[in-house]
Structure 1
Amino acid sequence: MSASSDDNIEIEYTVQENESIPIAIAQAVSSFHQCDPLDLPPLYNSIEADTLEKLANPPDAASGSKSNIQIEFVFAECHITVENNDRIVLRPTD
C-alpha cells in the first residue's frame, strides 16, 4: 500500500493473488481508517459484492489476459476505484 505526498491523499492497494476484490477493499479501507475490517459498515450498503467481483474479474481474466476496467463507488467515507482486477485506489470523501 502506498500514499501520495501532496494534499490530495491517495492510497493504492495491490490485490494479492487469490484475494477477492471485496476482501481487498475491506483490507485497504480498514488500513486507511486504522480499524478492524469488522468495524466497517457492510460493503453491500454501497455496492453488491458478488456483482463487483464479477465485473472486476470477467471470464477473460481467468485466461491471464488483462481487462481494462475501472469501477468507482463510495464506501466508508472513501472514494474507491477498482482498476483492472489488481489495483484499488482510495481517496477520502472529505
Structure 2
Amino acid sequence: MTPEQPEEQLLVEYEISDNEHVSRAATQAVSSLKECEPWELTPLYETIDPEMLDELCESQQNGVVKFVYSDFHITVEQGKFLLLQPADAAPLLHPP
C-alpha cells in the first residue's frame, strides 16, 4: 500500500464469469472477502432486488451500477466486473 492508498481504501476487483449472474457474483465476492459462506451473509434481497440487478446489468452493458451490500461499496462495471471496497472507506471514483 502507498500513502495515497491506505489499507482502509482497499479496492478489490472481481471478474464475473460468462455464465454467472451479477447477484450471485456479488454474494460470492463479499463472502470470499469476509471469509464466510454466502448463506451466512444478510440476504442480498434485503439490500437490492437480485432479479432487477441481474436484468439491469444485462441490459446496461456499458453502464455502471452502484450499491452497498454487507459492509461493502459494490460497483458493477459493464456487467462484467465488480469493484468492492469496504463501506467505511470513502468510495473511490476510479480504481488506482
TM-score, normalised via structure 1 length: 0.83
Structure 2 CA distance, aligned partners of 1:9 and 1:82? 16
1:93 and 2:94 correspond? no
Q: How far off is 1:80 after superposition? A: 0.6
Query: Aligned AA for 2:52?
Result: T
Q: CA deviation at 1:50?
A: 0.6
Name stretches of at least 5 consecutive residues in structure 1 with no aligned partner.
62-66
- The 4+ residue runs of structure 1 with deviation greater than 4 A are none
| Partner SS for 2:76 | strand
Q: How many residues align?
A: 83
Within 5 Å, which residues of 2 pair with 1:68-83? 68-83=62-77
Separation of aligned partners in 1, 2:46 and 2:73: 14
Counterpart for residue 15 of structure 2: 14
The residue type paired with residue 74 of structure 2 is I
AA partner of residue 28 (structure 2): Q
Unaligned runs of 5+ in 2: 89-96
For 1:57 and 1:86, the matched residues in 2 are separated by 9
What TM-score results when the alignment is normalised by the length of structure 2?
Answer: 0.82
Shift of residue 93, structure 1, vs aligned partner = 1.0
Confirm whether residue 23 of structure 1 aligns to residue 24 of structure 2.
Answer: yes
Whole-angstrom distance in 2 between the partners of 1:35 and 1:11: 17
1:49 corresponding residue in structure 2: 50
RMSD value, Cα: 1.2
